Amino acid sequence: MSRFAVLGSPIAHSLSPVIHQAFAKEAKLSITFEKILTPAGALKQTLDAFKVNGGQGACVTLPLKVEAFELCDHLTLAAKTAKAVNTLFWQAGKLWGDNTDGEGLLGYLQNDLGLVLEGRRILILGAGGATRGILDPLLKAGVQNIVIVNRTLTKAQALCTNPHITAYDYDTFNRSNELPFYLVINATSCSLQDALPPLEPEWVKGAYTVDLAYKQKQETLFQQWANKQGALLAEDGLGMLVWQAALGFKLWHHFLPHVKPVIQQLRQGAFQDADQ
């Protein structure tokens, strides 16, 4: 039986195991998929132990995506561009890293939500591994420009590798004369801590919003806040999670599962008894 896992901190809330088990059922594969609590700085030790005990591949989530990038022997083009990794596997004893976040987000935004990104202005909150993974795919989708806002300005500025990307800290951005945005993406970890980024309400009013975090049984705090401020749409990251997981599953098993049935089952609470 093939052994896989998701690594991160926090990790108890992760739905990755039930998602991959649903994919495996469709593909008629027998796998195990576990959650392994892995704090920052402990990824190499955890991966080494996981491999010795039969691990074949792993997903990584907050706060490990940049750490995973630095550990890999080989990287896909998507991972090299993002400088962050969310999917790992071993081949000929070497650790490979890929990043399916960006393509997963695009699949969700365009196919499930029906958003048209070409020529649009996008606001991204946060400058961590999640943001790194989605920048290049958004640019390739033809967005007009992307504004990144982060508590630490230098971290956001480090991602401005394209003339269509601009960086601010929150104080400066909230006082800026930037034009309205079509889409606001919360790529911070605030929702996992039941907190909100220090963003003024005007920036989500009349915009589509997506929180990359998710809660299976209720809206995230950011979703609740965005709805109250007049957002056109306030979605969580569940759809993106399933889309990027499907791309990772294809990388491991050479089988692309159907995404929509799993998203629907999750929305309907089909896996509500899963360990969260």
User: 80 an active-site residue?
Assistant: no
| Percentage, residues of the chain above pLDDT 90 | 89
Whether pTM > 0.75 for this model: the answer is: yes
- The answer, yes or no, to whether residue 167 has pLDDT greater than 70, is yes
Query: Catalytic: which of 44, 51, 65, 260?
Result: 65
pLDDT band at 270 (very low <50, low <70, confident <90, very high): low
| pLDDT at 272 > cutoff 80 | no
What are the structural domains, with CATH classification, of the chain?
2-99+241-267 (3.40.50.10860), 102-236 (3.40.50.720)
* 43-70 average pLDDT score: 96
Whether the pLDDT of residue 271 is over 90: the answer is: no
- Angle value at C-alpha 206, between 130 and 211, nearest 5 degrees: 20
Per-chain mean pLDDT for the chain: 94
Residues 6+ apart with CB under 8 A from 62: 8, 9, 10, 128, 129, 130, 189, 192
How many of the other CB atoms lie within 10 Å of CB of 267? 11
Structure-token pair, residue 164 = 């269509």
